[in-house]
Structure 1
Amino acid sequence: MSEQGYDHATVERRWQEAWDEADVYRTPDDVDDPTYVLGMYPYPSGKLHMGHVRNYTITDAYARYRRMRGDDVLHPMGWDAFGLPAENAAKDRDTNPRDWTVDCIETMRGQMESMGFGYDWDREITTCTPDYYQWNQWLFSRFHEEGLVERRDADVNWCPHCETVLADEQVEGEAELCWRCDTPVEQRELEQWFLRITEYADELLEAIDDLEGWPNSVRQMQRNWIGRQDGAELEFSVEGYGSVEAFTTRVDTIFGATFFALAPDHPISGELAEEDEDVRHFVEHEADPEGDEPNGVETGLTATNPVTGEEIPVYVADFVLSDVGTGALMAVPGHDERDHAFAEKMGVDIEPVIAPEPDDWDGETIPDAPDVSEAAYTDDGVLVNSGEYSGLESETARERLTADIESAETATQYQLRDWGISRQRYWGTPIPVVHCEDCGSVVVPEEDLPVELPEFINTTGNPLDAAEEWKQTTCPDCGGPAERETDTMDTFVDSSWYFLRYVSPDLEDAPFDRERANDWMPVDQYVGGIEHAVMHLLYSRFFTKVLADHEGLAHREPFTNLLAQGMVQLEGEKMSKSKGNTVSPQRIVEEYGADTARLFMMQAAQPERDFDWSEEGVRSTYAFLGRLQGMVEEYVDSTPDGDDDAIASYVDSEIDATVAIASEKYDELTFNRALRETQELVRTLRQYADFTEPHAETYERGLSAVVRLLAPVAPHLAESLYEQLGDETEDEFVVDAEWPTANVDHEYVRKRRKLVENTREDVRHIVDVAGIEDPQRIDVVVAPDWKYDALEIAVESDADNLIGELMGESHIREQGDAAASYGQDLQAEREALSRTLDPDEEHAALESAAWLIEREFDASVRVVGADEVDESVLKNAEPGRPAIEIED
């Protein structure tokens, strides 16, 4: 080992070559105990960033851990290789997206290999290759056969700079800018291809409750995106336009409807805009659905309430959305916050028609109406000011009114819309359709797939429109002239099923092997960024359900457990090229090694949390790995011959405790806690070796446990140390070694550790406060048995008079003033009390750990029973907090 640290470059290069030569990470197709671990595959942007490194270290560490626990682990990697960034990069550099993408993949694959990620590269997939995207086209055809594909005109988000359609989530901020280039987004009407995800809306929503291994935040985001609302559709008669259908979830509030509102793009709004300058100006220039405050314009029209017959004013309002409900609504400002804000702004009446149900309500008396002048009352309650329906509870009133109103029908609405997959760009999967004047739009037959991309043409707009030779074709149905569809698929299609392709990446006659997929799926542990919480995960769930219905897939959900990892920050801000605050993974690997980068990231925070990159933390981690190598080398060079004594027993117990707790934390993916335990064990082993000649078997067992516990996170050095510890009966690689095991009582360990640390801290405090420079002897005095009994009673008791209960026990009462004083202490701290070890366990634990105190203070240490000291000392001893007497 050099003075600067261990030779990480040599160690890592050696083991990466050894793993590759032995084909260590290849996963057979047929296995007995399959575990599928997967990180969201990356877009090949050219270089790994720290977010990539963290994501893939998490999955790699967990995959290695599960493998050491005996599982057959599938841990593949691939490339989300289509997309507009590559097309733009190719245009800027006058090259083509394919060459650009391939170069980026080669660079990133090399970086991944330098990080020591244990992927089965035989299963690598690249979505821009025909042998992958032909199955996107095949799936499109299957969805089309099942009535799940539709082509229709639609208003779309259009980026004039990128010259492509954007999904709603790709339009950012109040200014509505393109997520890629910050250009203001326009609205256009185009013919688009849609996948009918709404056909699965109910199942997608209801199955969320079963995703117990997903973060609650992600599940709620999906619920909100699907946005199911149960209510009623009913008709209001609008002056000059007849019946207009509105949707409401609160028909019980209909007596409080004081205005009617239309979306800016409602057909009536469009007609009004042609005749009324105020409406036209509002629709074209002022309407802002994303604005902080609702805004609108009065039309001069009225709508007739179907229950009261009352005529109420009609507004065009930007808080009404045409794609939510019917684009028209009855507005009840007394019981809806948004309606209330609009009514205040426009001077519309606000009337209460729902009152909170009184605590002592008899079910008959009509309660007083609430004051809704300042804020809406939005909960259910009892109807007031509602004619014959007054006095009914909201739920009952909803049922009654829906039945009584002639035009009303129960209805369910969703915020979820069908998935528009059309993109006006080159670098994507060609949609397998030809357009024939006689036959219309015809899906390309399976035997003619894949429809491959032509050579790239560097032009404005969609390069496929300029590829005339490619575009001109014949109709599969009639043989006449036809044109190919020039839209390509949204790249979310690629990622909606890629996890299935990994199980049979070379299969030539189907997108995936059904039998293997049913064995391996669902993915046991999926890891990726929170930014994909809605779209990618929702689309993947949709595809999985369709494939279960029509292709024999045995599972209806793709991912059992999901971890959304936090960001890597620098000085509190997300690393970003635009901010100039990135840290190069390659530099860290070159200076400190991949193991250092991996270990630092995993120990810095729980995987779900953001954390700040720290160069000091990296250096500290590097130094730790160097010290560990030094410990192993020193042990191997001079095998110790110490006694199997109380100290060895303590160290043995700490090894068991560390293995048990770290294993539990690995199971939970709280790697930082597992690594903290492991590093504490290293510290204990160092202290042991510094204090006395270690017992060889105990010390080697501890080092072996540390090496295996670190192996998932720091695999290169772990391999080197595993080899140095050298047991010919063991597996060749640590990645194939058995995980260390220990069966311990976690609660006992917690109590013992707390006891030892509190005792050491008390000694430090006394030495510091008393100014004792050279303590000669330290007595640690265990409390008398009766105090343990008193504590047990106090923990169990719910009596108001705890002291009285304690004094009811004769052996405690016999202690007189000492019992009364201790009882008062217990009474005062009652809420914080907890059990400790019993007297014999406490005495034994302190005996085995006394060497730690002796080592720290260079003084002899005795653990003393209660019958060996004066009462003056004994009064300070309590369960879990022995008395300390120091002689200098």
Structure 2
Amino acid sequence: MSETGYDHAAVERRWQEAWDDEDAYRTPDDVDDPTYVLGMYPYPSGKLHMGHVRNYTITDAYARYRRMTGDEVLHPMGWDAFGLPAENAAKERDTNPRDWTFDCIDTMRDQMESMGFGYDWDREIATCTPEYYKWNQWLFSRFHEEDLVERRDAEVNWCPECETVLADEQVEGDDELCWRCDTPVETRELEQWFLKITEYADELLEDIDDLEGWPNSVRQMQRNWIGRQYGTELEFTLEGYGSVEAFTTRVDTIFGATFFALAPDHPISEELAEEDDDVWQFIEHEADPDGDEPNGVETGLTATNPVTGEEIPVYVADFVLSDVGTGALMAVPGHDDRDHAFAEKMGVDIEPVIAPKPDDWDGETVPDAPDVSEEAFTDDGVLVNSGEYSGLDSETARERLTEAIESAEEATQYQLRDWGISRQRYWGTPIPVVHCDDCGAVTVPDEELPVELPEFINTTKNPLEAAEEWKQTTCPECGGEATRETDTMDTFVDSSWYFLRYISPDREDVPFDLEQANDWMPVDQYVGGIEHAVMHLLYSRFFTKVIADNEGLEHREPFTNLLAQGMVQLEGEKMSKSKGNVVSPQRIVEEYGADTARLFMMQAAQPERDFDWSEEGVRSTYAFLTRLREMVAEYTANEPDGDDDAIASYVASEIDATVAIATEEYDELTFNRALRETQDLVRTLRQYADSTEPHADTYERGLSAVVRLLAPVAPHLAEELHDALGNDGFVVDAEWPTADVDYDYVAKRRQLVENTREDVRQIIDVAGIDDPQAIDVVIAPGWKYDALEIAIESDAPNLIGELMGESHIREQGDAAASYGQDLQAEREALSMTLDPDDEHDALESAAWLIEREFDAPVSVVRADAVDDGVLKNAEPGRPAIEIDD
């Protein structure tokens, strides 16, 4: 317990035990269609970090909110438990990955429970258990049956010291060293298992448009990763090698092709390297596809342009990739930025053949060629310097050239490549295949699944290669001797369908209950880091589509709404152990409580935004919770007996406004705004209690609303205060507060009151009034509201003339003309306000706030009660202020 706060440890322990005793968060199997709320499950690294806490507070808060609004909610948790880090940790500690992983899981589960996360732990999964990875293997077999699995040679990153394949992200630095042992990484060709995700490339791309609940940035990242391009395949003739196929999206620029480029691993490049030392040196030691500048080497060969017959030089260039297009391209430096940079570096000609289309272009005239010496012109336009095609627009030229070039045909290319799932690791799902000399690669029958991992052998090699007894088996087809596949699956396989396993985690006969999955899927709200915006989400979409096609799932997309939460930073930098700037969630829980940590993070910024951790902010949040607890304690000890007067009416309207606004913000997952509204209501209730004897029903309703509005984010203290206010049952099961108010009306009333208070402050400050004696707030006359409405609705160029067409406005003479000029000047920014009666009522009910702040009586005066000199300053939404000093 803090010296200045409440005993948060006792409160949190008491309610966590109560939730456990009542199984408060269990989702029964017999619900029809629960709201499915899911955070991306974590890798069990040993301890929660602040990124975990933020992610899971977001999902927990939303799940609690939906539950309080009456939904039945599915909110599970599990563990992405396979992977190389656990294998490395086990090797370093001379233990085994399983023990290490489950120790980490136990620790992190305890921490999650201490944070008060409301998970249905009956549905917990760990992907490293045979009960789970059996179904990875089963799905592999189903993919194999549908010809969506292939085994073929592929280039891989190979660490000779660790004797294992490395993913690209495990190759570090310009020297390309192994992340684990700093050994230089080699490139090798190995037989690898692939899932044919490219078979679904078009559907994966086209369905992105339907993911309206996903951030646009994530959708665009997926589009870019799939990288569909429509273009033309055509042949250039290379000296000594014959026809070589190239792909281009801009065949309209072919007259400007001034060189031809091959990827470093193109077969012709590799053949040249055997004979040309310069080419060999470049390929082996200089080529850097990830470099900032394109680089290459001239081969001495020429390529013949199929349209012009011109011979152009051939280069091996590192910006050409063998798995993009055909690994060979015609380079047009005048109209491609990358080609332009290369041409400048190598001294290759740069020729313009596309000109910007003039605004007054008649469809035939050939415009002047642009200057492309400094930078390429990359847009479509009109062909120039292109023989008989000059004067055509780019689109027409592409069509005609594709028809005219004998070797050309329309083609579609993708950046997306098939998914290589082979990993030379122990701690992963064994690929369910045996290799037989007679039968080849044979999948393990379903009845023999799971193929379980053998005991761990601590070796620098793949431990499965060393597990001789486990490796030796019999062929399911012929019964002869066979060996097991020793590659394990990429852990992305585990996470590509885990959301389905939560639905029926105890089923032993199927990976998931199909009927329930059809009822419960897709996930309504998914939350996770932006770093998973492409691979995990793309693979999950792929798996869902394959399962829909072959297993009867009725949904083709796994996640309806996606939120990519921002990072928790310290002094502008991401928290990391290497930087020594990690804040321990456990310390914060012990010192201030889980509710404080949760509330601080949710109020600090919108969930999508990064934000800086602040100890001062944590302390302030703890002080707020302490004050709220004191307010409830004071109310229950001494129930007030005040009148149901104008002040009580204002407070009641503020309660309604807060509920209406906070509810809308919770719906949008903008928790920071909802919490700001709730904290403002607490401030109003404190001012109310300090100013007068509160009306008991109004004050109690305000406190009850605050407690329920805070319950999704600060559940422990909310339970404590809900109970103290005399309510039965858990607050998590309480009804969400409601308010029958118009959101737009509430916002306008709020703005009116705040603007008026700010105007009073400004006048007192500028005039140097030390002791105001009285304050008059004067409502604008009705004709000004009519004029404002006309100005907003009118599109007449002469607004003043239209205003003067209204007799009751024209009668105001110079005042109408002056106000009309003001409206004309601000026409684009105008918006409707409350009507005069509503303005009067709103300000009259809020007058006590101004009186309390400035210790002076306040009168809210209608327009007909003052002279014209005062009224000239009064406008709709901005009453005139008269202060007697």
Residue deviations 1:241-273 (CA, integer Å, cap 9, x gap):
111111111112112211111111111111111
Check whether the contact 2:504–2:512 (CA below 8 A) recurs between aligned residues: yes
Which moves more between the two structures, 189-198 or 1-10? 1-10
SS of residue paired to 1:85: helix
Q: Which runs of 5+ in 2 are unaligned?
A: none
Map 1:49-60 to 2 at 5 A.
49-60=49-60
Of 744, 768, 773, the match for 1:771? 768
Map 1:103-182 to 2 at 5 A.
103-160=103-160, 163-168=163-168, 171=171, 176=176
**Residue identity matched to 1:715:** P
Equivalent residue number for residue 390 of structure 2: 390
Check whether the contact 2:254–2:307 (CA below 8 A) recurs between aligned residues: yes
Check whether the contact 1:235–1:407 (CA below 8 A) recurs between aligned residues: yes
**Residue identity matched to 2:43:** Y
SS of residue paired to 2:554: coil
Equivalent residue number for residue 407 of structure 1: 407
Check whether the contact 1:262–1:327 (CA below 8 A) recurs between aligned residues: yes
SS of residue paired to 1:147: coil
Residue deviations 1:643-678 (CA, integer Å, cap 9, x gap):
111111111111111111111100100000010111
Equivalent residue number for residue 489 of structure 2: 489
Map 1:654-733 to 2 at 5 A.
654-728=654-728, 732-733=729-730
Map 1:501-520 to 2 at 5 A.
501-520=501-520
Map 1:73-88 to 2 at 5 A.
73-88=73-88
Equivalent residue number for residue 628 of structure 2: 628
Map 1:456-855 to 2 at 5 A.
456-728=456-728, 732-855=729-852
Equivalent residue number for residue 866 of structure 2: 869
Check whether the contact 2:33–2:520 (CA below 8 A) recurs between aligned residues: no
Q: Does 1:879 align with 2:876?
A: yes
Cα distance between partner residues in 1 of 2:167 and 2:520? 32
Map 1:165-314 to 2 at 5 A.
165-168=165-168, 171=171, 176=176, 184-314=184-314
SS of residue paired to 1:240: coil
**Residue identity matched to 2:205:** L
* Structure-2 change in CA distance of 1:338 and 1:3 (3 Å): closer
**Residue identity matched to 1:305:** N
Return the offset for 1:182: 6.7
Check whether the contact 2:42–2:80 (CA below 8 A) recurs between aligned residues: yes
Check whether the contact 1:174–1:291 (CA below 8 A) recurs between aligned residues: no
Cα distance between partner residues in 2 of 1:619 and 1:259? 65
Which moves more between the two structures, 338-347 or 127-136? 338-347
Map 1:361-376 to 2 at 5 A.
361-376=361-376
Residue deviations 1:294-328 (CA, integer Å, cap 9, x gap):
11111111111112222111111111111111111
Check whether the contact 2:431–2:486 (CA below 8 A) recurs between aligned residues: yes
**Residue identity matched to 1:754:** Q
SS of residue paired to 1:365: coil
Cα distance between partner residues in 1 of 2:272 and 2:824? 77
- RMSD over equivalenced CA pairs, Å: 1.7
Residue deviations 1:64-116 (CA, integer Å, cap 9, x gap):
01111111111000000000000100111111111000100000000000000
Return the offset for 1:755: 1.3
Map 1:310-321 to 2 at 5 A.
310-321=310-321
Cα distance between partner residues in 2 of 1:774 and 1:306? 91
* Structure-2 change in CA distance of 1:364 and 1:765 (3 Å): closer
**Residue identity matched to 2:189:** E
SS of residue paired to 1:275: coil
SS of residue paired to 2:357: coil
Which moves more between the two structures, 380-389 or 170-179? 170-179
Check whether the contact 1:783–1:883 (CA below 8 A) recurs between aligned residues: yes
Check whether the contact 1:33–1:71 (CA below 8 A) recurs between aligned residues: no
Cα distance between partner residues in 2 of 1:555 and 1:393? 43
Which moves more between the two structures, 172-181 or 457-466? 172-181
Cα distance between partner residues in 1 of 2:38 and 2:721? 28
SS of residue paired to 1:694: coil
Residue deviations 1:416-443 (CA, integer Å, cap 9, x gap):
1111111111111111111111111111
Equivalent residue number for residue 442 of structure 1: 442
Cα distance between partner residues in 2 of 1:681 and 1:607? 22
Residue deviations 1:499-551 (CA, integer Å, cap 9, x gap):
00000000001111111111111100000000001110011011001000111
Which moves more between the two structures, 394-403 or 530-539? 394-403
* Structure-2 change in CA distance of 1:369 and 1:771 (3 Å): closer
Cα distance between partner residues in 1 of 2:183 and 2:641? 73
* Structure-2 change in CA distance of 1:384 and 1:766 (3 Å): closer
**Residue identity matched to 1:272:** L
**Residue identity matched to 1:349:** D
Return the offset for 1:786: 2.4
**Residue identity matched to 2:397:** A
Check whether the contact 1:174–1:290 (CA below 8 A) recurs between aligned residues: no
SS of residue paired to 1:863: strand
SS of residue paired to 1:823: helix
Residue deviations 1:784-832 (CA, integer Å, cap 9, x gap):
2222223333333444444444333333333334334433433444443
Which moves more between the two structures, 53-62 or 252-261? 252-261
* TM-score scaled by length of structure 1: 0.97
Return the offset for 1:868: 2.3
Cα distance between partner residues in 2 of 1:595 and 1:864? 46
Return the offset for 1:746: 1.7
Which moves more between the two structures, 696-705 or 400-409? 400-409
Q: Does 1:32 align with 2:38?
A: no
Cα distance between partner residues in 1 of 2:185 and 2:119? 40
SS of residue paired to 1:299: strand
Residue deviations 1:756-779 (CA, integer Å, cap 9, x gap):
111112222222333333323222
Equivalent residue number for residue 69 of structure 1: 69
How many residues are aligned here? Answer: 885
Cα distance between partner residues in 2 of 1:536 and 1:177? 26
Q: Which runs of 5+ in 1 are unaligned?
A: none
**Residue identity matched to 2:743:** H
**Residue identity matched to 1:709:** L
* Structure-2 change in CA distance of 1:39 and 1:20 (3 Å): same
Check whether the contact 1:639–1:696 (CA below 8 A) recurs between aligned residues: yes
Residue deviations 1:220-249 (CA, integer Å, cap 9, x gap):
111111111111111111111111111111
Check whether the contact 2:2–2:592 (CA below 8 A) recurs between aligned residues: no
**Residue identity matched to 1:105:** I
Check whether the contact 1:41–1:78 (CA below 8 A) recurs between aligned residues: yes
SS of residue paired to 1:340: helix
Check whether the contact 2:236–2:243 (CA below 8 A) recurs between aligned residues: yes
* Structure-2 change in CA distance of 1:161 and 1:720 (3 Å): farther
SS of residue paired to 1:144: helix
Identity %: 88
Return the offset for 1:624: 0.5
Check whether the contact 2:642–2:695 (CA below 8 A) recurs between aligned residues: yes
Check whether the contact 2:266–2:322 (CA below 8 A) recurs between aligned residues: yes
SS of residue paired to 1:647: helix
Cα distance between partner residues in 2 of 1:46 and 1:137? 27
Cα distance between partner residues in 1 of 2:28 and 2:350? 69
